[in-house]
């Protein structure tokens, strides 16, 4: 079962990066950050997304697990 994660990075990403970042939704914030939100299947996939963020040269500000996939918030 997947977990839902929110990863916040400094800077704004274009929506086209969603596919490269495992299909996470790209949500640009007014404070100049981007929140990437969506299901991540396991820890290996999470580390893969974090590695891709690093490869883009974006500072990773936070990683937050918000709950299991399908859980009401």
Q: What is the pLDDT of residues 51-71, one digit of tens each?
A: 999 999 999 999 999 988 775
Closest CA to 63 of 54, 13, 71, 55: 54
CA 16 to chain centre: 14
42: how many CB neighbours lie within 10 A of its CB?
11
**pLDDT per position as a tens digit, 9-18:** 999 999 999 9
Closest CA to 36 of 70, 58, 13: 13
* 73 CB-near residues (< 8 Å, 6+ apart): 66, 67
pTM of the shown model: 0.89
């Amino acid at each position: 079962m997947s977990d839902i994660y929110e990863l916040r990075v400094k800077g704004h990403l274009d929506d086209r990066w969603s596919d490269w970042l495992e299909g996470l939704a790209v949500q640009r914030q007014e404070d100049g950050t981007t929140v990437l939100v969506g299901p991540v299947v396991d820890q290996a996939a999470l580390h893969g997304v974090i590695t891709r963020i690093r490869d883009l040269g974006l500072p990773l500000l936070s990683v937050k697990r918000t709950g299991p996939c399908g859980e009401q918030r």
